[in-house]
Amino acid sequence: MRLDYSSVKFDIDLELPSSKSIHNRVLVLNNLYDLGLNIGHPSQSEDSQLMQKLLKSEANVLFCDNAGTVFRFLTAYLCVGSRTVELTGSERMCKRPIGDLVAALKSLGAQIEYINKTGFPPLVIQAGLRKGGHVKVNGNLSSQFISALILIGPKLQGGLTIELEGKISSRPYIDMSVNLMKSLGFKLEFRGNFIYCETDRTELVEKDFNIEADWSAVAFWIQIVAFSKRGRVFINRLRKESVQGDCVLMNWAGSLGVKASYEANGIVLEKSKVPIVNNTEWNFVNYPDLAPSIVVLLSVFKRKAFFKGLESLQIKESDRTAALANELKKCKVIFKEFEQGWLLDASNFELEPETIFETYSDHRMAMALAPLSLLKPIHISNSEVVGKSYPRFWSDLESVKY
């Protein structure tokens, strides 16, 4: 896809897609506990549609494509089900580790077998896990492993205590699972390095549940506004009181060349005249999905910066650290790993017209690179990958022309 939005000035209103992170959790809970929820503003993302389809499927083989959340949540969900299922995915999915989640479930008595390589999909999962207890999980791995256990915790006899060992990464996503379930009447507590899941639940009176807009998608619009000549966007359905950790973007926007403010029912992003500081340090241990956008944004402004907490990017839909290094190299940007993190040196940033950027079949790579089209015309390969989380992204980006 060829993109050209250079020198744009815009003032637009947007409705971002609903959060697939929230929707996928609600779908699992609604099915597992027969909550009878009426879900408003459902996510139209490919991931959420896939989750909904597979939860209803009676097939013996379930194909999760490259949807990490879907695969990990279903791994735990199927253990407490009523049938034996083969769980598989795309070539990339089968290279993404699942061993720590499987080990945790097997320690509780789950029957799971690896079909090919130990520690990786595909899996054969036998139903029958009924008893809870105490399980230990490395807190520095994917938060989705931990959330998968949290979701099934109240289903297990005697409940479940999850002990997180070591440093805890992506904690806001764990908090999301805990707080979301508490809002639905479940009795959970996250204290220190322990998560306590009780079997009791308060019956819900209100059955309507509206999915929040996706805060992680705001990162792309911060880029778009920052790269514009004079841009302003109002984004509807975003609240201060969000269960999504990526709302931290409201605190970060000012240092990224964007003025951000809350209004009734949403937020406003406006181009700022405040200069972006050089040699900043960023820690993405709790916000890994925001890293590609911030790295590309700082590159455009020819900044040097240091990043920590990028370890989990290597097991996403692509190896995002390697992907960023490869694609930004096309703009004379150095992005390389050191012992304690990653160094960005974009002092020689230069974007050639008609540059072709690869997406590595990764939705966030596509959307993080797309705002470069506000500088010069570029090409994005395999552009349809945005459907994974933000199906309307290209039509929303097109609206900045008007």
51-100 confidence digits (pLDDT tens): 999 999 999 999 999 899 999 999 999 999 989 999 999 999 999 999 99
Task: Name the pTM for this structure.
Answer: 0.89
As a whole number of angstroms, the distance between CA 328 and CA 380 comes to 13
- Active site residue: 47, 214, 246, 289, which one? 289
What pLDDT score was predicted for residue 7?
64
Pick the closest to residue 371 from 233, 248, 240 (CA basis).
233
- Residue 393: CB atoms within 10 A of its CB come to 21
Structural domains in the chain, CATH included, are: 2-7+213-223+241-251+274-401 (3.65.10.10), 20-209 (3.65.10.10)
- Dump pLDDT digits (tens) for 198-229: 998 988 878 999 999 999 999 999 999 999 99
- Cβ neighbours of residue 264 closer than 8 Å, sequence gap 6 or more: none
| Residue 396 annotated among the catalytic residues of the structure | no
- Dump pLDDT digits (tens) for 223-281: 999 999 999 999 999 988 898 999 999 999 999 999 999 998 899 999 998 889 999 99
As a whole number of angstroms, the distance between CA 319 and CA 96 comes to 10
- Cβ neighbours of residue 196 closer than 8 Å, sequence gap 6 or more: 159, 160, 161, 188, 189, 190
